[in-house]
Structure 1
Amino acid sequence: MYAQTVYEGNLPAVMRAFAISLGVATIGVMLGVFVPPSLFLPLAIIEIGMLIFAFFLRRKKAISYLFLYTFTFISGLTMFPIINYYMMSIGPQIVLMALGTTTIVFAGIAIYASTTKRDFTFLGGLLGAALLALIVIAIFNLFWPMSSTAMLAYSFIGVLVFSGYVLFDFNRMKKYGVTAQEVPTMALNLYLDFINLFINILRIMGILKDRN
């Protein structure tokens, strides 16, 4: 009962911070056009470093709102080349369709996870292993690029994994609650779920578009 009360009390704050994070990232994407190409790699390294820092920091204490919004802004900047590539190659309509599909999938899973009586927190270990596998494959892909068919399969698995994370994160908040100090951390988790889900859906649509 206490966890449910804490969850309901702080869920609006989590969703508000999540929405602001998406807004900040959108500003970053829009400003990405002014970033010299040579700076995208350093920005990506900073983004990865902040993500690793957040992973270890959350074991001791929650991250701050300043950290959250700084990270999401940098994330938006580094997403510009990806968004711009797909805008140019498959058109803005498909990109918007991918964004709309992501929003529908995210919202649907979030509603189910927040209302079901089933406990999905057992998925944490499985999802962690799957995410690690995706990261390893992505690193190998930098040196030995996958075929379009393999990348399509990889992206579908990515959609399943990050859909699973949406289910896991909302279900975990419902079961264990969210303290005020944990709000930025949970908002960051949801942001990462949404963005990675979007990128994988966008990649799928881009591959299918190229095949037509």
Structure 2
Amino acid sequence: MQTNYQVANTQALPAGAHKVLRNTYMMLGLTMVPTVIGALIGMSMNFSWMAASPIMSSLIMLAVMFGLFFAISANRNNSFGVVLLFGLTFFMGLMLGPILQVALNLRNGGQLVGLAAGGTGLILLIVASLANLFFQVPAASLAISAVAVLLFSGFILYDVNRIVRGGETNYIMATLSLYISIYQLFVNLLQLLMAFMGERD
């Protein structure tokens, strides 16, 4: 999605904001790990107790969430805050268990979960690209390109899988889908290579 080939103006944001934004992007990426682990564990758990007492289970979940929010806020200036943040994201992943169990019991559940994950990544990529147009942060440009490379690589695998399994029978639409993914992959990979390996005169 990113097509700005010039290095953004590093003075567009105060110096401290660059560091916060860079660390936020890095931490956001890291929080996906405990979320995925929590979701995988949650899919194998028995959540029948939640159905038996929905009000009580909702109150317990809210108490844990708000307790972790408070603890993270109280420890925001030390490393224990990071541990608590990972704990919260693990818990949030765990709480995805019930909806993932229901979704994966559908005939096309795996496809729906993949579509939701890909759609979320694509929407985040678009929003981050739009935000970067206004705030002009070089670190954000690199983060967006890195996410785009991963996302469009996944789209290519998904598209090829659909073609092989007969999910897409129209070669024009299949070509269009693969072309867009390959084009975006090339553009974003080129931006990353220019940023890290480009030799200036």
Q: TM-score, normalised by structure 2?
A: 0.45
Between Structure 1 and Structure 2, the one with more helix by share is 1
Which protein, 1 or 2, shows the higher relative CO under an 8 Å CA cutoff with sep ≥ 6? 1
**TM value normalised by structure 1:** 0.43
